[in-house]
Structure 1
Amino acid sequence: MKHAYVAAIVLSGVLLVAGGYMLGRQSAAHLEPPNAPLAQPTNAASAASERKVLYWHDPMVPGPRFDKPGKSPFMDMQLVPVFADDQGGGGVKVSPDVQQNLGIRTAAVTRTEVANLLDAVGTVQFDERLSEAVQTRVNGYVERLLVRAPMEYVRRGQALATIFAPDWLGPQNEYLALKRAGASEELVAAARERIRALSIPDALLLQSEASGVAQARFTVLAPVGGVIAELGVRDGVAVTPGTTLFRIAGLEKVWAVAEVPETQAMGLRRGQKARATSQVDASQSFEGQLKEILPQVNASTRTVQARFDVPNPGGRLVPGMLLRLQVSGPTSTRLVVPTEAVIRTGTRAVVIAQKDNGAFEPRAVFLGADLGDQLEVLSGLHEGEKVVVSGQFLVDSEARLKSVLGSMSAPSGQEAVSGPTKEPEAVGTFTAQGKVEDIDAEGVTISHGPVPALKWPSMTMGFGKTKPTDFPGLKTGDTIQFQFKKGGARGWELLSVQPTGAKK
């Protein structure tokens, strides 16, 4: 009886387990579609394992390499892997996600048709070729002045002043007396020639002949229309032959004189058409022409003066006004990049170019003309290449860091250090032998042999200088024995260098 009771309990347990299993299978069948594939693990470690790892290193001390992951012996951090696809092709690679987060944008280098355009500001001046001087050729005085102020508008034939010339009375009276006496034609003609030699106007002589009385007062008329640019006399002033009474400036045309940089003046040619627009009212525009480039350079501004002829219908342009002058020249095809893509360092211009493999690299370029929102590129880039127009400094900083890391990388074929090891305390000076790979103002890159005191393998790394002028006789390729210590901007600083062999 007892055995039967125990068997019943065991059977009940088996039935409960089987029922739960079947219930779970049915519930799963409702939750999953039939023939559903099994879930695959998608952790970051498995994804990373698909990339080939060359070695591990400490980014803060990038020289030593390790063949397996672990904790850095130099810093309280884990070693970082360096992948094979990060080393090919040069430059620095930035993942698309990081590019989007940093706002890195690129633009293509293009060729465009550009017109040689000069945009300058010119000052309106009188056209001196239209200026007329009004003078006297007789002794006398101004009896009445009819135009009394400079810059007054006058029209052609307008009376300007009345001059009394007593010296004209004698020749006219002699001429009139000969005619009344019936003198021969030869004497009358001689007297008339004398009157003309004294510049007595024909109108005044006709008036004397009509009245029978010599005339000494005559009216000065304006030979051209314009403005009184110069007023040389006043009422009652005595005049002599050659005295300038007035200078009249014509306004049919004016000059617009612009200060042009000497570098741009080389592209200007006489006869080029120009569009002149009023600085006060942009709706007023005039068609002008480049007349002359004055042969003189302003030593302080390094500019030359370009003189443009501008028609002046209605006299709307007056001296002192400013005109915007635009001169169009022949078009040419130029290689251009956006202005924001160029980093100017003071001594050179740099762009961040994107290579075919997606990596970025700094590249020096030579620039030509400034075309507003674009710059002409004379060399350093090719059509179709892409340059960074936003986020250049972030990419440039990464590229500079990679350049430093590359100079401190181990020589080709050097085996990685087997496992993380404890670096000895870098106290005092150390000696090693090596070959000079590169020299700059801040330091020297050396491929050196092992340093037992520091447990360093053979590697290539950079050593800083105390001063930029240190080691003046050192050359790339020299084999040297050198002493160094910990410190300086590059972490290790050269103390002395002694050549051990000829340059290879």
Structure 2
Amino acid sequence: MKKILFIVISALLVFAACKSRKADVPKDTDVFYTCSMDPQIMESKPGKCPICHMELTAVKKSNSEEMDGIQLSEQQIQLGNIRTDTIKDGTIGDQMTLSATLNIDESKINIVSARVAGRIDKLYYKNIGDHITKGSRLFDLYSEELNNAKQEYISVLERQRTLDNSIIDFTQLAQAAKNKLLLWGMNEAQITELATTKKYVALTSFYSTASGTITTLDVKEGDYVTEGGSVVHLADLSVLWAEAQVYASQLSLIDQKGDAVVQIPDMPGKEIKGRIDFENPEISPDTRINLIRVTIPNYNNQLKPGMPAYVTLKSRQHHSLSLPVDAVIRDAKGASVWVRTGKNNFENRMVETGLEADESIEIKSGLQEGDIVVISGAYLLNSEYIFKKGADPMAGMKM
């Protein structure tokens, strides 16, 4: 009996000793070690940063912080100038400003083409950007077909002069030969000179049928052109298009009959009034972006295609939640805001944004009326979150 009692007492002493040794090993799970230069480093024990080799700093986790939240002290809030405001339902709209680019009015592009096949012997305008007035000598062409037609016309005129009393109506033959020359691009003055001198030259000059600036030169001297082949593209730059991109969600807010004002950043103070005259009927499925076009006059050709511009459109006001633009943090993952969930506690939330107007931005989803949102210091909160938790608060979040 004594032997059994001794064994039981020994076992109890061993168990107590083991329990005592476990209790002697403190383990603080609320502390981790990070680097002030590389906050993504998070270690469970002290040491040096594997990136910059600085001593790691102990940081205590706050049990009150949520997964996507952060807690700040009163001093941090004051130093970071973190201010909040309660989001309310209000109106946003009245006008919308879009980024745009000035482009050539494609409805005012004229193509000067060869009326007959031949070889370009000489070009009188050889540079993109040269301005050509209607009637200017454009190029000289050598054409066997045209030269044969010239000889035919001279021959008919000679026979008409000598055999005018015959039964053959040379007047109609002469008119038919002349019409062929007109069809192949010769003008009345050239034909009259040919009929007067009864001599022709191998090269025929052709003149521009329109005024404009050269945007495309399709031939060079020595090239052969076919009948109808393009020689030069001329653009009338007295009118330009201001083409702006607009998101599909904003289309319903645009007044198609409203006024538009185009501003040119390269010309401060210059504003040009116009109206929307085209909206692309097809929306890009990848970007969800549509194109609208405003036609504007180009007085004295001061504006150049390719210039950046801003298009301000009158839009209809509507009720919506809105915040100051600086309250919203935007990157490739989307948009988010910081919401106060307690006295000094803040939580990051993804939001869907809409219209921007007058330094305000529409919040379409992600918040509700009455939420207290950080309107100043949101980026500082973001940085503090990354420092403490070593991750972007928007990483892995979904709307």
**TM-score normalised by structure 2 residue count:** 0.59
Distance in 2 (CA, whole Å) between partners of 1:241 and 1:377 is 60
2:354 is matched with which residue?
369
2: CA distance, partners of 1:257 / 1:146: 34
Q: How many angstroms does 1:257 deviate by? A: 2.6
- Aligned letter for 1:248? L
Does residue 1:235 correspond to 2:213, yes or no?
Answer: no
Question: Identity over aligned residues, as a percent?
Answer: 20
State the one-letter code of the partner of 1:264.
Q
The one-character-per-residue Cα deviations of 1:284-325 (angstroms, maximum 9, x if unpaired) are 332233232324444543323333322211112222221122
- The answer (yes or no) to whether the contact 2:250–2:355 under 8 Å persists in 1 is no
Aligned partner of 1:258 among 219, 244, 247: 244
Inter-CA distance 194–318: structure 2 relative to 1 (3 Å threshold): same
- Structure 2 partner of 1:220: 206
5+ long unaligned stretches in structure 1? 1-98, 394-504
Q: 2:175 matched to 1:192?
A: yes
Structure 2 vs 1, CA of residues 150 and 337 (structure 1 numbering), >3 Å: closer, same or farther?
closer
Deviation at 1:148, TM superposition (A): 1.7
Q: Within 1, Cα distance between the matches of 2:93 and 2:376?
A: 31
Query: Alignment RMSD, CA only?
Result: 4.4
The 1:191/1:216 distance shift into structure 2, 3 A limit, reads farther
Specify the SS of the correspondent of 1:178: helix
**Are 2:317 and 1:309 equivalent residues in the alignment?**
no
C-alpha spacing 1:215/1:289, structure 2 compared with 1 (3 Å): farther
- Contact 2:338/2:374, CA 8 A, preserved across alignment: no
Which one of the candidate residues 116, 124, 127 is aligned to 1:146?
124
Quickly say closer, same or farther: Cα 1:100–1:221, change in 2 above 3 A.
closer
Contact 1:171 1:195 in 2 (8 A): no
Q: Secondary structure at the match of 2:280?
A: strand
Indicate how the Cα distance of structure 1 residues 221 and 270 shifts in structure 2: closer, same or farther if over 3 A, else same.
farther
* Change in CA separation of 1:386 and 1:228 when aligned onto 2, cut-off 3 Å: closer
1:115 and 1:163 mapped to 2: Cα distance?
60
Letter in 2 for 1:194: A
Are residues 342 and 292 of structure 1, via their aligned partners in 2, closer, same or farther at CA, if it must alter by over 3 Å?
A: closer
Deviation of the 1:252 alpha carbon: 1.4
Q: Does 1:203 align with 2:181?
A: no
Question: Could you tell me how far 1:114 is from its partner in structure 2?
Answer: 3.0
Contact 1:349 1:365 in 2 (8 A): yes
Q: Write the letter of the residue equivalent to 1:172.
A: Y
Partner of 1:292: 278
CA drift at 1:130: 0.9
Cα pair 2:154 2:194 within 8 Å, conserved: no
Measured at CA, do residues 331 and 346 of structure 1 come closer, stay the same or move farther in structure 2, by a change above 3 Å?
closer
C-alpha contact (below 8 Å) 1:349/1:366 kept by paired residues = yes
* TM-score (ref. length: structure 1): 0.48
> C-alpha offsets along residues 152-199 of structure 1, whole Å, 9 cap, x if unaligned?
122222221122442332222133213312526943123312331342
* Contact preservation (8 Å) 2:102, 2:309: yes
- C-alpha separation between the residues in 1 aligned to 2:376 and 2:226? 79
The residue identity in structure 2 corresponding to 1:263 is S
Confirm or deny that 1:180 pairs with 2:161. yes
Q: Does 1:273 align with 2:273?
A: no
Residues 154-173 of structure 1 aligned to structure 2 (within 5 Å)? 154-165=132-143, 166-173=147-154
Conserved 8 A contact 2:92-2:317:
yes
In structure 2, the residue matched to 1:90 is none
Separation in 1, partners of 2:80, 2:101: 49
Q: Give the AA of the match of 2:238.
A: E
The residue matched to 1:194 in structure 2 has which SS?
helix
1:20-35 equivalences in 2 (<5 Å): none
Kindly tell me the number of residue pairs found equivalent between the two proteins. 294
Structure 2 distance, partners of 1:231, 1:339, is 47
Query: Which secondary structure does the structure 1 equivalent of 2:237 belong to?
Result: coil
Answer whether contact 1:139 1:240 (CA < 8 A) is retained.
yes
Q: Distance in 2 between matches of 1:290 and 1:135?
A: 33
* Residue identity matched to 2:103: Q
